[in-house]
Amino acid sequence: MSERRERIDKHSLSGHSPDEGGFMTPHVLVTGAASGIGAAVAALLAADGWTVTGVDLREAALRASLDGLATPATPLVADLAEPDAAERVVRRAWESVGPLDALVNAAGIYPARPFLELDARLWDQVQAVNVRAPMLAIRAFAELAVAADRPGSVVNISSGAALRARPGAAHYSTSKAALEMLTKAAAIELGGAGIRVNAVSPGFVTVDSTANPVTEEYAAAVSANPLGRRGRPGDIAAAVAWLLTPAAEWVTGSIMRVDGGASAGTTTLPAHWPELTDVQTPGINEGAAL
Ligand SMILES: NC(=O)c1ccc[n+]([C@@H]2O[C@H](COP(=O)([O-])OP(=O)(O)OC[C@H]3O[C@@H](n4cnc5c(N)ncnc54)[C@H](O)[C@@H]3O)[C@@H](O)[C@H]2O)c1
């Protein structure tokens, strides 16, 4: 029995359906499960014993992503930019697969566009997928969980762009800043019902996405971090998985930065300028040769 399965049994959340082995398995809905971070979250949670329902716009890629998981998973194809899609997939997952214990909002788009070329259509598309869909999915999940008197846990995938603006990303940065506030706002209103809402904010993660292609020049520019390597989808999935465990039962409304330390500060400035230190603190360098 895996450690995760043991933990699930110990904390057994009421209402889980038994799997083939007679164990109670928790059920998670993961959006953006066809590739990148969402696919890594789906794979890790399945390996940890979760029943996964995956949602994505791209059917073939979604099926391919879910096919090889450790536990059987259900694909739901939907365009989350449509106003009713998020609620529809949550209800469908709940009714056809079983009550949901968790929701991971990983679907997202980051099409670069200079500020002076932004238009209402692209702005609305990015806000619809990156923040409106998570809001509607959380609301539907919470409504169903409250009605069934079940606890629940939500993790939204934010971005370092929520904190630091960058060229060509006003629409994206704004959507992720809004997603972080949505995370906190939902957390305070849903905590009383036993529903935790957190976010993981990745630094640059190599995903080689065809849905969200980026140039190497862009990747290099946003990759600097104190730990010196680019992120991997599994780095983010591990944080999401932890937030969904009972070990995180007192964590809500938090934004976990998983970025190699990128948001802690900058590594590109030199550590000190001796000539200026001499002026600022006369004599401080005199003993340096000893
Ligand atoms: N890769 C990074 O460096 C990075 C950094 C910070 C945050 N993020 C965030 O991580 C999340 C996952 O992105 P990723 O980098 O893994 O990219 P990705 O392109 O591999 O995954 C995004 C998925 O969302 C799906 N999707 C897009 N629009 C959709 C829609 N309208 N309806 C349903 N599904 C839709 C795509 O088909 C794709 O499978 C996004 O929210 C992104 O903003 C990524």
pLDDT of the residue at 256: 98
pLDDT score of 288:
54
Active site residue 172: yes
The pick from 84, 89, 157 for probing ligand 1's pocket by mutation, whose C-beta has the most ligand atoms within 8 angstroms, reads: 157
Position in ligand 1 atom list of the atom nearest CA 37: 16
- Over residues 228-236, mean pLDDT: 97
- For ligand 1, say whether the CB of 260 is within 6 Å of any of its atoms: no
Query: In the CATH hierarchy, which fold is given to the domain comprising 3-289?
Result: Rossmann fold (3.40.50)
pLDDT value at 8 more than 50: no
CB of 59 sitting under 6 A from ligand 1: no
Q: Per-residue pLDDT for 7 more than 50?
A: no
pLDDT of residue 11: 34
237 near 44, Cβ under 8 Å? yes
Report d(CA 9, CA 25) in Å as an integer. Answer: 8
- Above 50 in pLDDT, residue 6? no
Q: Is the separation of the CB atoms in 155 and 240 below 8 Å?
A: yes
For residue 278, the model assigns a pLDDT of: 80
Please tell me the predicted confidence (pLDDT) of residue 108.
Answer: 98
Residue of 29, 35, 87, 135 with the most ligand 1 atoms within 8 Å of its CB, for mutation = 35
Which pLDDT does position 286 carry in this prediction? 65
Q: Which DSSP string do the residues of 4-52 spell out, in sequence order?
A: HHHHHHHT--TTPEE-TTS-EE-EEEEETTTSHHHHHHHHHHHHTT-EE
| Per-domain boundaries in the chain | 3-289
Residue of 50, 94, 110, 172 with catalytic role:
172
Residue type, 198: N
Least confident span in 19-28, 141-150, 213-222, 231-240:
19-28
Query: Which secondary-structure segment (H or E) carries 200?
Result: strand 195-202
Q: Ligand 1 centroid to 116 CA: how many Å?
A: 24
Predicted confidence at residue 171, as pLDDT, reads 98
Between 144 and 280, the more confident residue is: 144
